[in-house]
Amino acid sequence: MSTASSGKSQTKGRASSLTSINNFEHLASVEKAGWLNKWTNYLKGYRQRWFVLDSNATLSYYRNPSEVGHTCRGSINLQEARVHTDKATSCIVVSGQSQTFHVKPQNEMDRQQWVNSLEYMRHKAITKAESEEDEDAQMASTDTNRTDALILSNRQISGKLCDLRTAANMMNKQGEELMRALNGTVETDKNSLADRADLLKMTTAAVLQAAEEFVEMSEQSAKRLNKIVAVEQKEKAFLQEQLEALAKQHSSLERAATQCSTGAPVSAYSDQEDEFHDAEEDLIF
């Protein structure tokens, strides 16, 4: 009975842990990787290359998967590129500012999947850029929009930091339980030990994911803050120029009013801040 109850409790614990971990996981941006035949030149023709489409809408290629993260042979940002297909040759053409990829998928299904992924990521990148421009325009319009943007950034960062701390606490707890099982403090079998190790791996991955999202969100908040500071500095400089111009006009009007009251002629240079007159020279014959 004790063994069955302990098994049920372990199963329940694993289920609750998996549920908690899933709360920290988010749908990843569309990413795709695979072999494509890339056109090189007229001598070599098409050569098989490993292509990677990342979440930043960048299409990169390598000679093999082991080069990923080390030696990129070329890349194109889809935000500033065009994607079209040649039905006659089943070739996908990705045209960037500095280079163009001519690639052939393995079959028609693979071609359609690549085209869908490329178009989706390109649209997503363009939409993101347009939203950032709209955000800049809103921050430049009124002080209320800037305040709201800062409050929103603060709430998002605080929420993500809370998720990160919760995931970290869960990882520490599962690590301690695994250590007790390894030391023999808690009775367990090999299967249960393997399950604990898998849960710890999943929780560690969740912590890393939350940390990456926290860093990314912090960077976005820093950029937003820098934009707000730049707008504030620009407005301050503009207001300072306006105040200086008004001060000069006030001084000029004040001098003109004084001269009119005393009956003195108004100088043509009375609107200038300082007047300088040459001293009269004695003429010697």
Q: Per-residue pLDDT tens for 138-168?
A: 555 556 666 777 787 778 788 878 878 887 8
Please give the class, per CATH, of domain 142-250.
Answer: mainly alpha
Cβ-proximal residues to 281 (8 Å cutoff; 6+ apart), any chain: none
What's the alpha-carbon Rg for the chain, to the nearest Å?
A: 34
Within 44-201, strands assigned E span 45-53, 58-62, 74-77, 82-86, 91-95, 100-104
Cβ-proximal residues to 105 (8 Å cutoff; 6+ apart), any chain: 36, 37, 90, 92, 111, 113, 114
User: Residue 267 pLDDT > 60, yes or no?
Assistant: no
Question: Residue 66 and residue 87: Cα distance in Å, rounded?
Answer: 32
Tokens read off for 169:
């606490």
All CATH 1.10.287 domain ranges of the chain, comma separated, are 142-250
pLDDT digits (tens, 9 = 90+) for 231-266: 788 888 888 888 988 988 888 888 888 878 776 555
Provide the mean pLDDT of the chain. Answer: 76
Question: Residue 229 and residue 235: Cα distance in Å, rounded?
Answer: 10
Specify the length of the chain in residues.
285
- Give the CB-side neighbour count of residue 15, counting CA atoms within 13 A: 6
Tokens read off for 268:
């043509």
Other CB atoms within 10 Å distance of the CB of residue 173: 13
Beta bridge partners of 52: 33, 60
Q: Which CATH number fits domain 32-129: 3.40.50.11540, 2.30.29.30, 3.40.50.300, 3.40.50.2300?
A: 2.30.29.30
| Residues 254-281, mean pLDDT to the nearest whole number | 61
Q: Is 0.75 surpassed by the pTM of this model?
A: no
| Residues 92-98, mean pLDDT to the nearest whole number | 91
pLDDT of residue 30: 42
All CATH 2.30.29.30 domain ranges of the chain, comma separated, are 32-129
- CB-based contact 231:50 (threshold 8 Å): no
Cβ-proximal residues to 7 (8 Å cutoff; 6+ apart), any chain: none
pLDDT digits (tens, 9 = 90+) for 211-230: 877 887 787 778 777 877 88
Question: Residue 23 and residue 8: Cα distance in Å, rounded?
Answer: 23
pLDDT of residue 144: 64
- Nearest in space to 38 (alpha carbons), one of 98, 113, 114, 109: 114
User: Residue 28 pLDDT > 60, yes or no?
Assistant: no
